[in-house]
Chains A and B, each alone.
Chain A
Amino acid sequence: MSALTERPARGVADDPSRSGSQRRRRTSVAAPWMLLGPFLALFVLTFILPIIVAVGSSFVRVSRKGVFGEEGVTTEFAWFSNYAQALENGNFIASIGRMLLFGVVQVTVMIALCTLLALLLESASAKWPGFFRAVYFLPYGIPGVIATILWSFLYVPGLSPIIDIAGAMGIELDFLGAGTVLWSIANIVTWTYTGYNMMIVVAQLKAIPGEVYEAAKVDGAGPFRVAASIQLPLIRPALILTTVFSIIGTLQLFAEPQVLQTVSPAIDNEYTPNLSAYTTAFAYNDYNVAAAQAVLIAVVAFALSFIFLRLTSRRAS
Chain B
Amino acid sequence: MSETRSITTATSSKRAQRLSDQQGRPGGSRGMRVLVTGILVVVAVYFLVPVYWVVIAATKSTEDLFGSNGFLLGSEFSLWSNLHEVLTYDGGIFVRWFGNSVLYAGVGALIATYLAAAGGYALAKYRFRGRNLVFGTILGGVLVPGTATALPLFLLFSQLGLANTYWSVLLPSLVSPFGLFLCRIYADATIDDSLIEAARIDGASELRIFHTVGLKILTPALVTVFLFQLVGIWNNYFLPLVMLSDSTLYPITLGLNNWRSQVDRLPEFYELTTGGALLSIIPLAIAMIVLQRFWRGGLTEGSVK
User: Is there an interface contact between B304 and A42, defined as CB atoms closer than 8 Å?
Assistant: no
**Which single member of B26, B49, B53, B155 contacts A222 (CB below 8 Å)?**
B26
Instruction: Enumerate chain B residues within 8 angstroms of A223, measured Cβ to Cβ.
Output: 26-28, 32
Q: How far is the CA of A7 from the CA of B203 in the complex (A)?
A: 9
User: Is there an interface contact between A301 and B151, defined as CB atoms closer than 8 Å?
Assistant: no
Q: Known contacts A50-B156, A126-B36; is A31 also within 8 Å of B126 by CB?
A: yes
Instruction: Enumerate chain A residues within 8 angstroms of B121, measured Cβ to Cβ.
Output: 35
Instruction: Enumerate chain B residues within 8 angstroms of A11, measured Cβ to Cβ.
Output: 203
User: Is there an interface contact between B201 and A4, defined as CB atoms closer than 8 Å?
Assistant: yes
The A/B interface has a contact count, at CB < 8 Å, of: 308
What residue of chain B has the Cβ atom nearest to residue A253's Cβ? B147
**Which single member of A274, A282, A298 contacts B144 (CB below 8 Å)?**
A298
CB distance from B222 to the nearest CB of A (A): 14
A262 at interface, CB cutoff 8 A: yes
Interface flags for A172-215 (1: CB within 8 Å of B; 0: not) read 00000000000000000001000100011011101100100110
Q: Which DSSP category, helix, strand, loop or mixed, fits chain A's interface? A: helix
A72 at interface, CB cutoff 8 A: no
A36 at interface, CB cutoff 8 A: yes
**Which single member of B25, B116, B203 contacts A123 (CB below 8 Å)?**
B25
Interface flags for B239-260 (1: CB within 8 Å of A; 0: not) read 0001000000000111011001
Q: Known contacts A150-B54, A161-B53, A191-B50; is A254 also within 8 Å of B203 by CB?
A: no
A101 at interface, CB cutoff 8 A: no
What residue of chain B has the Cβ atom nearest to residue A249's Cβ? B145
B33 at interface, CB cutoff 8 A: yes
B5 at interface, CB cutoff 8 A: no
- The stretch of A76-84, A104-112, A130-138 in contact with B is A130-138
User: Is there an interface contact between B40 and A126, defined as CB atoms closer than 8 Å?
Assistant: yes
CB distance from B42 to the nearest CB of A (A): 11
User: Is there an interface contact between B24 and A210, defined as CB atoms closer than 8 Å?
Assistant: yes
Q: Chain A contact residues (Cβ within 8 angstroms of B): what range?
A: 35 or more
A248 at interface, CB cutoff 8 A: yes
Interface positions, chain A 1-50, Cβ under 8 Å from B, are 3-4, 7-12, 24, 27-29, 31-36, 38-40, 42-43, 45-50
Q: Which DSSP category, helix, strand, loop or mixed, fits chain B's interface? A: helix
- The stretch of B7-15, B75-83, B84-92, B229-237 in contact with A is B229-237
Q: Known contacts A29-B128, A46-B172; is A125 also within 8 Å of B27 by CB?
A: yes
User: Is there an interface contact between A206 and B207, defined as CB atoms closer than 8 Å?
Assistant: no
CB distance from A21 to the nearest CB of B (A): 11
Instruction: Enumerate chain A residues within 8 angstroms of B200, measured Cβ to Cβ.
Output: 4, 24
**Which single member of B116, B143, B237 contacts A143 (CB below 8 Å)?**
B237
A146 at interface, CB cutoff 8 A: yes
Q: How far is the CA of A134 from the CA of B152 in the complex (A)?
A: 38
Instruction: Enumerate chain A residues within 8 angstroms of B231, measured Cβ to Cβ.
Output: 140-141
Interface positions, chain B 182-203, Cβ under 8 Å from A, are 200-203
- The stretch of A63-71, A89-97, A114-122 in contact with B is A114-122
Q: How far is the CA of A241 from the CA of B303 in the complex (A)?
A: 8
User: Is there an interface contact between A42 and B303, defined as CB atoms closer than 8 Å?
Assistant: no
User: Is there an interface contact between A32 and B128, defined as CB atoms closer than 8 Å?
Assistant: yes
Q: How far is the CA of A243 from the CA of B58 in the complex (A)?
A: 36
Q: Known contacts A9-B201, A206-B300; is A135 also within 8 Å of B47 by CB?
A: yes
Interface flags for B20-32 (1: CB within 8 Å of A; 0: not) read 0111111111001
B44 at interface, CB cutoff 8 A: yes
Q: How far is the CA of A295 from the CA of B144 in the complex (A)?
A: 10
User: Is there an interface contact between A294 and B54, defined as CB atoms closer than 8 Å?
Assistant: no
Given contacts A123-B27, A150-B277, A237-B305, 11 further A-B contacts (CB under 8 A): A29-B128, A31-B207, A33-B122, A35-B118, A46-B175, A120-B36, A140-B231, A149-B256, A191-B50, A199-B299, A302-B143
A-B contact pairs, 21 of them (CB 8 A): A9-B202, A32-B126, A36-B118, A50-B153, A51-B144, A120-B39, A120-B40, A125-B35, A138-B51, A141-B231, A142-B281, A146-B280, A150-B50, A159-B66, A213-B24, A223-B28, A248-B143, A252-B147, A252-B238, A287-B151, A291-B151
